[in-house]
Amino acid sequence: MSKPVKQNEPLVTHIYTADPSAHVFEGKLYIYPSHDLDHEMESNDNGDQYDMEDYHVLSMEDTDSPCVDHGEVLHLRDIPWAKQQLWAPDAAYKNNTYYLFFPARDHDGIFRLGVATSSSPAGPFTPQPDYIPGSFSIDPAVLVDEDDKAYIYFGGLWGGQLEKWQTGTFKPDAEGPAADAPALGPRVAELSEDMLTFKDTPVEISIVDEDGNPLLAGDEDRRFFEGPWVHKHNGYYYLSYSTGSTHKIVYAMSKNPMGPYVYKGTILTPVLGWTTHHSIVQFKDKWYLFYHDSSLSGGADNKRSVKFTELKYNDDGTIQTIDPYK
């Protein structure tokens, strides 16, 4: 029997894990991470060092229970449309089915989003034969709202290729907007009833400052980079994401799941390692931030470990900033 988990320590140490998407399914905490491989890779801005090939599912009965690794639940070799790089996944439950949403590069090297299904939150998951039509970029996160409508949020700059989709078609040489132009926002689409396709063409989410002005591309402390996550608290939608080059998890709030979202502040200060990626979940009467860092590997960007810590709100609904090392 493995040891009980502790906050701010790796959930598991026998494999490297990253990009945790946490959910409460069947009364337990289930975590859907990326599975970082223990191989030596040179880091570049394209993210070639994140060369993952499968997914594992983790679960915990409680926040002081051992963490169970349910083993490999989906492998690249079983996904006909995907060539490489199984990046940050998410899971959702609807129609008595568990859905695993994931990004990968297709056989043309273009990131797309796929979906796989299971009757159990612990998998194994069976992939659809093709990617979601009209999908692109990385880091899908799905919110099934209280009215049962499901929204998929996604997108990521640089290796995540979002800059290349500004015209609606893939332009391999496209650059991001000028520093004084509005930043690119994550994309959102409502999912069809069967959760396998987009209902409509995805739209860009606008993230604005307190005066209603869009955040600018040069505002690297606040602008969206990758890893969108949306959760709901007291009637507000919270969009949180990584700022990439400034290594923070920040958030913005809205009354509408499609935005616009008003920027509010920092949730998580930088962790060890280049990337930062998170999810936020309520379990029993508390809220938790799941995140990763590279402490277990001594700082290797592509060998990360999932951790969690309690997240607290202020009375006005804003979120208290977390320093993971204090």
Full DSSP string of 26-51:
TTEEEEEEEEE--------TT-TT--
| Residue in 69, 163, 226, 293 annotated catalytic | 226
Nearer to ligand FUB, 113 or 189 (CB): 113
- Residue in this structure with the two tokens 């993230």, named with its chain if needed: 207
Beta pairing partners, 17? 35
Establish if 244 lies at the interface with ligand FUB (CB under 6 A).
no
Residue 82 is classified by DSSP as: E
User: Residue with structure tokens 């009209």?
Assistant: 134
Cβ–Cβ under 8 Å, residues 94 and 195: yes
For the question of residue 226 being annotated catalytic, the response is yes
Q: In the complex with ligand FUB, which residue's Cβ is closer, 30 or 274? A: 274
- Judged by CB under 6 A, the chain residues 176 through 215 that form the site for ligand FUB are none
CA–CA separation, 281 and 288 (whole Å): 5
For residue 18, the minimal CB distance to ligand FUB (Å) is 5
Distance CA 320, CA 289 (A): 11
User: 19, 90, 106, 219: which one contacts ligand FUB (CB under 6 A)?
Assistant: 19
Contact 215, 222 (CB under 8 A): yes
Q: Closest distance between ligand FUB and the C-beta of residue 160, in Å?
A: 7
* Single residue of 16, 55, 87, 238 touching ligand FUB by CB under 6 A: 87
Task: Kindly determine how many residues on this chain lie close enough to bind ligand FUB according to the rule CB under 6 A.
Answer: 13
Q: Which is nearer to ligand FUB, 264 or 292 (CB)?
A: 292
The DSSP code sequence of 216-238 is BTT-TTTS--EEEEEEEETTEEE
Instruction: Please report, as residue ranges, which positions from 215 to 234 form the binding site for ligand FUB (by CB under 6 A).
Output: 226-227
Restricted to residues 110-169, the positions that interact with ligand FUB (CB under 6 A) are 138-139, 156
Q: How far is CA 230 from the centre of its chain?
A: 10
* φ and ψ at residue 48, rounded to 5 degrees: -60, -20
Q: Is residue 248 near ligand FUB by the rule CB under 6 A?
A: no
Q: Please tell me whether residue 102 binds ligand FUB under the rule CB under 6 A.
A: no
Measured CA distances, 188 to 37, 67, 153, 185, 271 (Å): 30, 32, 4, 10, 27
AA identity, residue 76: L
CA distance 246 to 269: 9
Binding mask 46-85 toward ligand FUB (x if CB under 6 A, else -) reads ----x-----------------------------------
Q: Min. distance of Cβ 306 from ligand FUB in angstroms?
A: 11
The least CB distance from residue 279 to ligand FUB, in Å, is 11
Single out the residue of 22, 29, 88, 143 in contact with ligand FUB (rule: CB under 6 A).
Answer: 88
Residue listed under structure tokens 């204090």: 326
Decide if 19 is catalytic: yes
- How many Cβ atoms are within 10 Å of 180's Cβ, its own excluded? 9
Using CB under 6 A as the binding rule, whether residue 92 contacts ligand FUB is answered as no
Instruction: Tell me how far apart the alpha carbons of residues 148 and 195 are, in angstroms, rounded to a whole number.
Output: 11
Q: Is 99 in the site for ligand FUB (CB under 6 A)?
A: no
Subset of residues 250 to 289 that bind ligand FUB, contact rule: CB under 6 A: 275, 277
Q: Which residues are catalytic?
A: 19, 226
Chain positions contacting ligand FUB, by CB under 6 A: 18-19, 34, 50, 87-88, 138-139, 156, 226-227, 275, 277
